[in-house]
A = this chain, B = another copy of it.
Amino acid sequence: MLKVINFQSSAREELVNLKDEIEAFVGDSKIDAGLCFVYCPHTTGGLVVNSYLDPNTPKDILHEIDRLIPTRLDFFHTFDTPSDAAGHVKSSLVGVSAVFVIDDGKLMLGHSQGILFAEFDGPRDRMIFAKIIPG
C-alpha cells in the first residue's frame, strides 16, 4: 500500500507535521502489525521526527540547523538561490527516509513525536510517499 501525500509549505523554512495524514493512512490500511515507511523525494527538504507539542521546539530545530548551515553567498552551487544551496546540505544532515512500527493497528510513536517534513527552501509544492507493509 502506497500513498502520495501532496501539500504546500508556506515559508522558506518550516516543519510541516504530517502525522495525522500518515496515521489516517495506517488506520485505513486495516493492517494490525507491520511497518510504515516515509520517504521525501526532495533535495532541499527532509524528514525530522521530533516533538511538535510546543511550537518552540520546531522553531529551535529550524533555527539551530540554520545557524549551523547559514544561507549565504559562498556556496559552490550557484545555479539556484543561496537558500537552495543551503537546503541541499540541511537535507543531507536530517535525511529523507524514516521507518515506523505499526502494532495493534497503530503507529508506535512516542507521545510527543510528530512526523515532520522539513522545508528548507520554500514555499513550494511538496510531496512525501508513505508505504505500509504487513509483517
Give residues in A with beta carbon < 8 Å to B. Answer: 2, 33, 35, 37, 39, 41-43, 48-51, 54, 56-57, 59-61, 63-65, 68-69, 75-79, 85, 88-89, 91-101, 103, 108-110, 112-113, 129, 131, 133-135
Contact = CB atoms under 8 A, between A and B. Distances in A.
A99 B101 contact: no
The A interface is mostly helix, strand or loop, or mixed, namely mixed
A2 B34 CA distance: 9
Contacts of A94: 92-93, 95
Nearest to A44: B51
Given A60-B75, A76-B63, A89-B64, A108 B135 contact: no
